[in-house]
Chain A
Amino acid sequence: MKYLQAQRTVASLADDAPASTVLLATSFQSENLDLYLQARHALAGHRLTVQHLPFNTLAQQSYTAASLDEVWLMLPWDWLPETDWRTGLPAQPLDLADLEARLAAQEQRLQQRGMPILYLDAPMPPVMANQALQAQLAHRLREAAYRAGARLLDGEAFELPSYLNTGVAIAGRSADAVAEALYELRYPSPKVPRKVLVTDLDQVMWRGIIGEDGLEGIQYRPEGAGYPHFLYQQALQRLKHGGTLIAAVSRNDADLARAPFEAGNMTLNDADLVAILGSYQPKSAQIRHLLEQLDLGLDAVVFVDDNPVELSEVSTALPEVQCLQFPESVAAFPDFLARLLAHFEQDTTSQEDRQRTELYRTRLKGMAPVNAEGADLTAFLSSLEMQLTWHDRSETQRDRALQLINKTNQFNLNGKRWTDDELDLVLGQGGRLYSASLADAHGAHGEIMACLIDVEGCIRAWVMSCRVLQRQVEAAFLHVLTEQPIASETLVFDRVNTERNRPLQDFLDTLALDHNRIKRDRLAQQTQAARALFTLRNATETSPT
């Protein structure tokens, strides 16, 4: 999570969110972790106040009575002050045997206090007589940390120049990773294993978007960009053999979501999943419905998605569900996999465990479609603080809009692909090409919608990226469209129902169209409520309205 995203996440908390205070106990300046730590708590719906110790007083703190809400972030010199870069090198090399009694006493003291500790294995100055002894000391300190119950973090987050000059030990670019580790120390994975893993499909089960890239375009094999997804499927297969139920939820048509499993080329196949749900309803509604059918509690579920908005929607509507973000970078994948598997750890596997998926699949036969009223979507959308930026691309910068029109399948007015020449013709006759970008409390989504309207008010092309379905952005866009300088008082949708554009069809069916025509003022009236969910910014203006 980046700095501004963390700020927006904290700002989006409801006023009545439950609040707590934690003492972040460090011997260095650690205020730069506060925002990220608060954002991690905000993602779980909690407001956090962070307190700090006066600089360099951690050692004294270890002699006081433990507070219930404190978390320690320790460096090597919090065990042995002689190893602190800021105090300089000792006149004589240290002797580990001389230090042993002090280390053992501190281990015992910290064990008795029992607070969560994160130990940052930062590099130490050369305090021992040679490199072998120096390595032995580092090893001994890690051992001490483990004995005190600490979780270890590698030393990359430590920033020596900053520490020497300002006392800030954690680099800004590592602050979020450290905050995440601290959050997990406060809220460790429960000991009772979860029973159901609900997973997103696009960009998680495979690389790519099945609705746009097709069966041939998605990647899930052990090569290139497909590797993390191949490993993820292997992990899920292992969980399934251990008795975990695997289910998929996706904002796709059900048959499209199911197709890669039925094709039989992936590690996981149709029979490995207890259910594959494809629907355009909120994922929280899909998960709730699934769990009702399985007759299991929501606290049995781990939900994995790559999209922070989806994760936020589910964690807001279903706080019992443990949400995990599928990482954007491969570097973060090992840690993600370890945390995922930790939620399902169990000592033994029975024959019934191995057959559990089959048993539940039988139970789910005849499962009803997901109820559209599963979550309070409007309240959730309001909390996203969505900002729509309107672009007139008729004259310049039309590449992204044209690309969107020619790539999008699901929310596409008619499926027609356009060439530059065809576009020139419509625009040359007085038509307009509009697009819109979306941003929200979680960050920017880029240019996600494009619309070509000809001089007679006929909407010839209209598409929206499936990444932003279920936000009412399409209705808000139409509202803004009615305010544009278009000669015709009636708008006509050049609609063609295709095999793929069910989301578009569903939306147009909610408008009172008369043979795909509607008066502009009537359309404005019907889309007014959606428009109110957005702050509008015209790309040529500076202040939002």
Chain B
Amino acid sequence: MEASLRDDIDAILSSIIKLETAEGVHRSQCATWDSMAQVALVSALEGEFDLALSLDDAMQLNTLDDCVELVNRYL
């Protein structure tokens, strides 16, 4: 279940930042992970998992681990 969730989130994030995988990627070091990508990521996670993420939480997403942890917290 956990692995599947991580795979799904990786699929979402990597498609938005246009990389093969988001494993090991940090927002501050990724040119394609800009503010528009951040907005798209939040909307995509909300659409995939039927969530309403708070803005504070959404802005703290810097890695795949952050995304998995946040989605797990809301689910």
Q: Interface residues, chain A, CB within 8 Å of chain B?
A: 2-4, 6-7, 29, 31-32, 36, 159, 161-162, 165-166, 168, 171-173, 175-176
Contact = CB atoms under 8 A, between A and B. Distances in A.
Given A29-B39, A165-B55, A166-B39, A4 B46 contact: no
A173 B51 contact: yes
Contact of B8 (A4, A159, A166, A168): A4
Interface string B9-38: 001100100000000000000000000100
B41 to A, nearest CB: 9
Contacts of B12: 3-4
A175 B39 contact: no
A32 B11 CA distance: 16
Contacts of B50: 2, 173
B40 interface: yes
Given A32-B40, A32-B43, A168-B43, A3 B55 contact: no
A172 B43 contact: yes
A6 B45 CA distance: 13
Q: Considering the complex of A and B, which 10 residue pairs feature the smallest CB-CB distances, nearest first?
A: A172-B46, A172-B43, A32-B43, A3-B48, A172-B47, A3-B47, A173-B46, A3-B44, A173-B50, A166-B39
B13 to A, nearest CB: 11
Contacts of A166: 39
Contacts of A6: 47
Given A3-B12, A171-B46, A172-B47, A162 B55 contact: yes
A4 B48 contact: yes
Contacts of B15: 7
A1 to B, nearest CB: 9
Interface in B41-75: 42-48, 50-52, 54-55
A176 B51 CA distance: 13
B47 A31 contact: no
A424 B39 CA distance: 53
B10 to A, nearest CB: 11
Interface residues of B, number: 19
A4 B11 contact: yes
Contacts of A3: 12, 44-45, 47-48
B64 to A, nearest CB: 15
Given A4-B11, A166-B39, A171 B52 contact: yes
A7 B11 CA distance: 10
Main secondary structure, interface of A, reads helix
Given A4-B8, A29-B39, A32-B39, A161 B55 contact: yes
Contacts of B51: 172-173
A166 B55 CA distance: 10
B20 to A, nearest CB: 13
A172 B55 contact: no
21 contacts: A2-B48, A3-B12, A3-B45, A4-B8, A6-B47, A7-B11, A31-B36, A32-B39, A32-B40, A32-B47, A36-B47, A161-B55, A162-B55, A172-B42, A172-B44, A172-B47, A173-B46, A173-B50, A175-B43, A175-B47, A176-B47
A366 to B, nearest CB: 50
A176 B49 CA distance: 12
Nearest to B59: A165
Nearest to B45: A172
B58 to A, nearest CB: 9
A156 to B, nearest CB: 11
A175 B44 CA distance: 9
B1 to A, nearest CB: 12
A406 to B, nearest CB: 24
Nearest to A34: B40
Contact of B47 (A29, A161, A165, A173): A173
Nearest to B38: A166
A31 B40 contact: yes
A65 B42 CA distance: 35
Nearest to A165: B55
Contacts of A7: 11, 15
A168 B39 contact: yes
Contacts of A162: 42, 55
Contacts of A171: 43, 46, 52
A4 B12 CA distance: 7
Contacts of B46: 171-173
A268 B43 CA distance: 43
B35 to A, nearest CB: 8
Contacts of B40: 31-32
A29 B38 CA distance: 13
A165 B56 CA distance: 11
Contacts of B54: 161
A173 B51 CA distance: 6
A171 B47 CA distance: 8
A3 B8 CA distance: 10
Contacts of B39: 29, 32, 166, 168
B32 to A, nearest CB: 15
Contacts of A176: 47
B11 to A, nearest CB: 6
Most chain B beta-carbon neighbours within 10 Å: one of A6, A166, A172: A172
A448 B42 CA distance: 33
A171 B50 CA distance: 10
A2 B43 contact: no
Given A2-B47, A171-B52, 9 more contacts: A2-B48, A3-B44, A31-B40, A162-B55, A165-B55, A172-B45, A173-B50, A175-B47, A176-B47
Contacts of B45: 3, 172
A31 B47 CA distance: 13
Contacts of A159: 52
